[in-house]
Homo-oligomer: A and B are copies of this chain.
Amino acid sequence: MKKQIGPSGVTRIALYYRVLSSLTEEGVRYVSSEELGERTGNNAAQVRKDLSYFGNFGKPGVGYDLTDLQDKLSQILRKEDSRKMALVGVGNLGSALLSYDRFKEEGFQITAIFDNDRRKIGCQRGGLVIQDVTELKPILSKDGISIGIVTVPSAATQKVVDELIEVGVRAILNFAPSRVTVPDFIILQNVDLSIELDRLSFFLENKGSIPSRAK
């Protein structure tokens, strides 16, 4: 069986895709693994190997056809299936994510938002009405939403996550600092900003030690 790409490889693929978008605007037609590596901070061989997991996209002596490669990566990352997302927790961070333009640009769309705060429920945010989180299950059960973004306080996280899973959400982006447990078939990605700062804080005093990886 052919070896598969790893988690960090996927991150790099997404990065390559970003760079391709820039290059398109610059009117380039072909790009080499060398250049792609340069622009993303990766080794050229790494780039070629990453891409080779999904097929032979390049032409020796020329490089990769830009629009062609873009299509391929778009397909790999499922950019066409417009992904609908639900956001739970319309606090500061949640609100910011709602008006975060880059989600739209990259084909992601938040279509339902929830909170447990009486004062917020019914209000509008980014063109959507904030709904009662206790109504989450009945409301989402028909929507076929596959991605959930959770920006609620730690204490509530597990409950919200469980409910999202019940209504068919299969991937969750969790901004709460608490670790959540999910079944194996669920994709969970934690984003903990204060941990990022802890990392910075550590490396500030131990700079020489470890080369910073470009996550």
Interface residue ranges, A against B (CB under 8 Å): 4-7, 10-11, 13-15, 17-19, 39-41, 76-79, 81, 83, 85, 92-93, 95-97, 99-100, 102-103, 105-106, 108, 146-147, 170-173, 177, 179, 185, 187-191, 193-205, 207, 209-210, 212-215
Contacts and interface: CB of A to CB of B under 8 A. Distances in A.
A215 B190 contact: yes
Given A102-B177, A187-B207, A212-B188, A200 B4 contact: no
B93 A100 contact: yes
B200 A173 contact: yes
Given A93-B100, A179-B39, A179-B40, A215 B199 contact: no
A27 to B, nearest CB: 18
Nearest to A182: B212
A185 B207 contact: yes
Contacts of A201: 77-79, 81, 83, 108, 147, 171
B18 A177 contact: yes
Q: Copies of this chain, how many?
A: 2
Contacts of A79: 201
Nearest to A19: B179
Contacts of A173: 193, 196-197, 200
Contacts of A203: 10, 171, 187
Given A187-B207, A198-B14, A200-B171, A193 B100 contact: yes
A7 to B, nearest CB: 5
A68 to B, nearest CB: 19
Given A5-B210, A76-B202, A102-B177, 8 more contacts: A7-B199, A10-B198, A14-B199, A77-B201, A79-B201, A93-B96, A187-B200, A189-B196
Contacts of A105: 194
A17 to B, nearest CB: 7
A106 to B, nearest CB: 4
Given A100-B92, A195-B14, A204 B108 contact: no
- 10 shortest A-B CB distances, which residue pairs? A96-B96, A14-B198, A171-B200, A92-B96, A106-B194, A187-B203, A14-B195, A92-B99, A102-B194, A93-B96
